């Protein structure tokens, strides 16, 4: 499911909608959280002209802090603490606030220990700001996970790990009545590597079948094989019987032998 890829430990999630479907933003993100059992602690900002008041943003931060304190005072607090924040679309925010304030507010949410995740939806077609491209790039910089809805059947996902690692993967998607199914979409190099591995495995199986047509191992030996085995002499086996041990010494020309017994004066 798509929620398994989105509802993770990454804190700031940016959804770039190239299909211009802002009207389903809140419902779409809410369904992802509900699939992972985190639909109870969802906080949102008011929409419309109330977004021009800074107090609306401060109120949201205070609500997150108060909600987290209430969870800590419970006798058995839940393991998943903090709120999931679903911000208005980037187009709506830019209608009432400056880019600098939006970036600062997202950064405050990211640093808050009382906020579990922050979701921001952006449709490039609806961004009327003259610096829309730079603003969207700034949001991508702040985000730890960027979901890009490319077409009705494909999407891409960029994930930044705390250690600095970055993954960029593309998926095919299929929407049913109950869930959003995705499957990895291999690029050209991965497809070629998979095809080559499959070809090598098939060739290996054919070679095994050719070497052993029966498909079984032969354990017993026939009569000829037994005779050949018994006639085989291994290198470590002795090829002759041991003879009686004798010491044979051949004197050299320079040897000095004395015919007299040097011990003849001893009473032995």
User: pLDDT of 121-141, one tens digit each?
Assistant: 999 999 988 999 999 999 999
Q: Is the pLDDT of residue 252 over 80?
A: no
**Average pLDDT of the segment spanning 204-219:** 62
Residue 90: per-residue pLDDT: 94
Query: At residue 186, does pLDDT exceed 50?
Result: yes
pLDDT above 70 (res 179)? no
Is the per-residue pLDDT at 67 higher than 50?
yes
State the Cα angle at 166 between 1 and 136, rounded to 5°. 85
**Pick the residue with more confidence: 252 or 63?**
63
Distance in angstroms (rounded) separating the CA atoms of residues 42 and 109? 14
88-113: b (≥16 Cβ within 10 Å) or e: bbbbbbbebbebeebbebbeebeebe
Specify whether the CB–CB gap between 136 and 90 falls below 8 A: yes
Which of 34, 38, 144, 33 lies closest to 81, judged by CA?
38
More confident site: 148 or 184 = 148
Among 65-69, 113-117, 219-223, top mean pLDDT goes to 113-117
Q: What is the pLDDT of residues 72-108, one digit of tens each?
A: 555 554 445 689 999 999 999 999 999 999 999 999 9
pLDDT at 190: 55
User: Is the pLDDT at 109 greater than 60, yes or no?
Assistant: yes
- CA-to-CA distance for 90 and 237, rounded, in angstroms? 86
Average pLDDT (58-84) is 69
pLDDT at 64: 84
- pLDDT value, residue 196: 62
Shortest CA distance to 145 belongs to which of 29, 9, 10? 10
Q: Which of 9-23, 51-65, 217-231 has the lowest mean pLDDT?
A: 217-231
Higher pLDDT, 216 or 30: 30
Question: Considering the chain, what percentage of its residues have pLDDT values greater than 70?
Answer: 71
| Residue whose C-alpha is closest to residue 10's, from 103, 144, 148 | 144
pLDDT of residue 231: 82
Confidence (pLDDT) at 151: 87
Cα→Cα distances 106→87, 141, 144, 265, Å: 9, 11, 12, 117
Side by side, the strands of the sheet bearing 154-160 are 42-44, 83-86, 115-122, 12-17, 145-149, 154-160, 166-175, 180-185
Gap between the Cα atoms of 89 and 243, Å rounded:
101
Which of the pair, 213 or 202, is modelled with greater confidence?
202
């Amino acid at each position: 499911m798509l929620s398994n890829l989105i509802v993770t430990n990454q804190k700031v999630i940016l959804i770039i909608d190239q299909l211009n479907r802002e009207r389903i933003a809140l419902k779409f993100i809410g369904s992802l959280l509900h699939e992972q059992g985190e639909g109870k602690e969802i906080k949102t900002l008011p929409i419309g002209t109330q977004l021009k008041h800074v107090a609306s943003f401060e109120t949201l931060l205070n609500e997150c802090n108060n909600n987290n304190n209430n969870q800590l005072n419970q006798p058995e607090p839940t393991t998943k603490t903090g709120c999931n924040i679903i911000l208005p679309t980037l187009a709506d925010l830019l209608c009432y606030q400056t880019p600098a304030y939006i970036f600062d507010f997202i950064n405050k949410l990211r640093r808050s220990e009382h906020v579990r995740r922050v979701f921001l939806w952006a449709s490039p077609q609806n961004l009327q700001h003259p610096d829309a491209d730079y603003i969207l790039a700034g949001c991508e910089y702040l985000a730890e996970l960027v979901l890009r809805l490319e077409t009705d059947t494909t999407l891409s996902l960029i994930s930044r790990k705390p250690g600095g690692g970055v993954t960029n993967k593309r998926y095919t998607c299929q929407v049913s009545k109950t869930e959003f199914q995705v499957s990895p979409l291999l690029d050209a190099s991965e497809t070629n590597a998979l095809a080559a591995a499959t070809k090598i495995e098939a060739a290996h199986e054919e070679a095994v079948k050719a070497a052993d047509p029966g498909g079984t191992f032969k354990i017993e030996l026939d009569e000829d094989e037994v005779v050949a085995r018994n006639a085989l002499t291994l290198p470590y086996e002795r090829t002759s019987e041991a003879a009686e041990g004798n010491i044979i010494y051949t004197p050299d020309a320079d040897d000095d032998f004395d015919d007299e017994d040097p011990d003849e004066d001893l009473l032995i």
